[in-house]
């Protein structure tokens, strides 16, 4: 299998994951679809920068997160709604829990690390590569995020 | 802990829009296309240059596609050719190299001199990059950085060239040297070579005896045009190190349409935001 074939297979097989992550950052269906498509296109175009096909996951997540950041930047600046005003969501809120909502309410830099670690099950090293932050920053943000969530960590492995 | 499982399940049950698969396929198709275009463009640029100079394939390490692309363009006669002498894209010792070095192929000492000068610049640039990188690494660990924090840091080293214009007897091209990591650095070298006369061309050759005044008038006009009504501009004032006059050492290249373009490096006459500043000079 050529590198391109490996890449395409990976992208097709994991597309739902990419969409979920993009949606969790952007909270907008169309923007999330655009971000995934842009990231996929970019990945194919720049595949020569993928030196180690085994690291495709962290390599692609970085591209995807950059596409999400770009989408956030392009949003027009809007006046926030008054406190307590519930914005209608185009897609139904994921059912099942206050914790999920608390994760979403974290500062974005903390939230994304928690999501990558626990929802996407990336290793800390992979998160460091995917977000372009050094490992210690990732660790301290992860712990700070967990502290905020007041999760009892019994049983959950961190590294 | 169950609460955590719930959160994960909720995340996992984010509804997936039915058009996702189509959008991913579209992304794959567009990405492949763009990649092909980028490569084709590189080949075209190369082939166009080669075609004008009468190409000799012998001794060149060409891929079959490139050889096909090149052999399908008509070969004209000429005094010289500019070829990619070294071309590699590799990663080694934490440095990511993207290097294309041109070589001028022509009879006479001019080509020899230029090639030696370019080679010297290339050697210097690579040695400087390796030294900068080693210094940075040393400082990083000397100030308490750990192997872990260092991670997979990489520095980029780039050497590339661009042919700006040419006729059957002269060529104008720029060789760019760049390195990038926490800071970035770029140096451009300009070559305007006349193989009929075996020498480098000057602004006087293109703009005549009054070349200094011609350039200065045109540049001042263009700086004024880039100053807004409130007098705000990225250009420095002449008494603050801004533009005063061109001289023998001023860089320039000549475009395909024969127009001379005078160039000033970033920061030299304007704020960094203006980047490398270029002025197309109209002939008097």
Chain region(s) in chain B for CATH 3.90.640.20: 206-284
What pLDDT is attached to residue B67? 43
3-state DSSP assignment of residue A84 = coil
Structure tokens at A158: 């961190």
Q: Give the integer Cα–Cα distance in Å for A126 and A132.
A: 10
Contacts of A136 in chain B (CB under 8 A): 148-149
Evaluate if residue A96 carries a pLDDT over 80. no
**Which of A32-41, A46-55, A69-78, A91-100 comes out lowest in average pLDDT?**
A91-100
What pLDDT is attached to residue B62? 42
What pLDDT is attached to residue A102? 79
Low-confidence ranges of chain B (pLDDT < 70): 1-2, 37-78, 181-184, 284
| Count of CB pairs separated by less than 8 Å, A with B | 121
Q: Give every CB contact of residue B182 below 8 A, 6+ residues apart in sequence.
A: B136
Q: Percentage of chain B surpassing pLDDT 90?
A: 25
Q: Give the integer Cα–Cα distance in Å for B215 and B244.
A: 11
- Interface contact B11, partner A, CB < 8 A: yes
What pLDDT is attached to residue B55? 40
- Interface contact B273, partner A, CB < 8 A: no
Cβ of B233: how many Cβ atoms within 10 Å? 17
A 57-76 residues inside an 8 A Cβ radius of B: none
Q: Give the integer Cα–Cα distance in Å for A43 and A46.
A: 5
- With CA atoms as reference, report the closest residue to A39 among A11, A9, A64, A5: A64
Structure tokens at A137: 């920053």
3-state DSSP assignment of residue B56 = coil
- Interface contact A158, partner B, CB < 8 A: no
Evaluate if residue A151 carries a pLDDT over 90. no
Question: Does the structural domain B206-284 have CATH classification 3.20.20.30?
Answer: no
Which helix (H) or strand (E) covers residue B188, if one does? strand B184-194
Q: Percentage of chain A surpassing pLDDT 90?
A: 34
What pLDDT is attached to residue B203? 94
Chain region(s) in chain A for CATH 1.10.1740: 1-75
**CATH topology (fold) of B81-201:** Heat Shock Protein 90 (3.30.565)
What pLDDT is attached to residue B212? 94
C-alpha distances in angstroms, B201 versus A159, B132, B172, B195?
A: 63, 34, 9, 10
Is residue B281 a contact partner of residue B255, using CB atoms and an 8 Å limit? no
Model-wide pTM > 0.95: no
**Closest chain B C-alpha to A40 CA, distance in angstroms:** 5
Structure tokens at A10: 């990976």
Q: For B128-139, what is each residue's pLDDT tens digit? A: 888 888 888 888
| Ramachandran angles phi, psi of B8, nearest 5° | -65, -40
What pLDDT is attached to residue A157? 39
Q: Give the integer Cα–Cα distance in Å for B240 and B217.
A: 19
**Closest chain B C-alpha to A108 CA, distance in angstroms:** 16
Nearest CA in chain B to A46: B35
Is residue B208 a contact partner of residue B186, using CB atoms and an 8 Å limit? no
CB contact under 8 A, A43 and B31: yes
- Tell me the β-bridge partners of B172: B165, B192
- With CA atoms as reference, report the closest residue to B133 among B161, B164, B155, B158: B155
Q: Give every CB contact of residue B33 below 8 A, 6+ residues apart in sequence.
A: none
Nearest CA in chain A to B91: A51
- With CA atoms as reference, report the closest residue to B148 among A129, A100, A67, A142: A129
CB nearest B27 (choices: A24, A41, A118): A41
Q: For A42-86, what is each residue's pLDDT tens digit? A: 899 888 888 787 889 999 999 999 889 888 877 776 555 555 555
What pLDDT is attached to residue B71? 38
**CATH topology (fold) of A96-151:** Arc Repressor Mutant, subunit A (1.10.10)
What pLDDT is attached to residue B182? 53
Chain region(s) in chain A for CATH 1.10.10.10: 96-151
Question: Does the structural domain A1-75 have CATH classification 1.10.3210?
Answer: no
Chain region(s) in chain B for CATH 3.30.565.40: 81-201
What pLDDT is attached to residue A19? 96
What pLDDT is attached to residue B209? 92
């Amino acid at each position: 299998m050529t590198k391109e074939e490996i890449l395409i297979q990976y992208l097709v097989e994991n597309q739902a994951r990419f969409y979920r992550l993009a949606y969790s950052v952007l909270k907008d269906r169309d923007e999330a679809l655009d971000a995934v498509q842009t990231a996929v296109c970019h990945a194919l175009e720049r595949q020569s920068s993928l030196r180690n096909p085994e690291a495709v996951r962290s390599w692609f997540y970085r591209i995807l997160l950059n596409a999400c950041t770009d989408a956030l930047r392009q949003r027009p600046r809007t006046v926030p709604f008054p406190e307590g005003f519930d914005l209608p969501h185009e897609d139904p809120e994921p059912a099942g829990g206050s914790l999920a909502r608390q994760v979403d309410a974290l500062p974005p830099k903390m939230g994304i690390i928690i999501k990558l670690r626990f929802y996407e099950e990336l290793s800390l090293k992979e998160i460091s590569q995917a977000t372009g932050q050094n490992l210690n920053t990732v660790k301290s943000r992860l712990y700070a995020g967990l502290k905020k969530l007041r999760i009892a960590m019994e049983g959950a492995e961190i590294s | 802990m169950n609460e955590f499982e719930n959160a994960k399940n909720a995340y996992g049950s984010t509804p997936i829009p039915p058009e996702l698969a189509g959008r991913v396929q579209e992304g794959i198709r567009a990405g492949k296309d763009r990649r092909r275009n980028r490569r084709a463009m590189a080949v075209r640029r190369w082939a166009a240059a080669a075609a004008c100079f009468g190409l000799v394939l012998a001794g060149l390490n060409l891929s079959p596609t490139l050889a096909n692309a090149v052999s399908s363009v008509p070969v004209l006669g000429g005094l010289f050719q500019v070829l990619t002498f070294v071309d590699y894209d590799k990663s080694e010792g934490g440095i990511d190299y993207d290097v294309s070095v041109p070589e001028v192929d022509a009879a006479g000492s001019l080509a020899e001199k230029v090639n030696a000068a370019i080679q010297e610049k290339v050697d210097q640039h690579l040695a400087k990059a390796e030294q900068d990188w080693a210094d940075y690494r040393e400082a990083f660990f000397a100030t308490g950085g750990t192997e872990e924090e260092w991670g997979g840091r990489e520095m980029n080293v780039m050497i590339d060239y661009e042919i700006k214009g040419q006729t059957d007897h002269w060529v104008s091209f720029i060789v760019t040297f760049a390195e990038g990591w926490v800071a970035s650095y770029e140096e451009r070298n300009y070559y305007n070579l006349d193989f009929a006369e075996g020498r480098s061309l000057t602004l006087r050759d293109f703009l005549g005896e009054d070349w200094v005044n011609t350039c200065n008038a045109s540049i001042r006009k263009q700086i004024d045009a880039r100053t807004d009504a409130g007098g705000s501009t990225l250009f420095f004032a002449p008494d603050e190190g801004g533009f005063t006059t061109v001289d023998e050492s001023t860089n320039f290249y000549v475009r395909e349409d024969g127009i001379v373009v005078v160039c000033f490096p970033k920061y030299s006459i304007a704020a960094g935001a203006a980047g490398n500043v270029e002025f197309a000079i109209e002939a008097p």
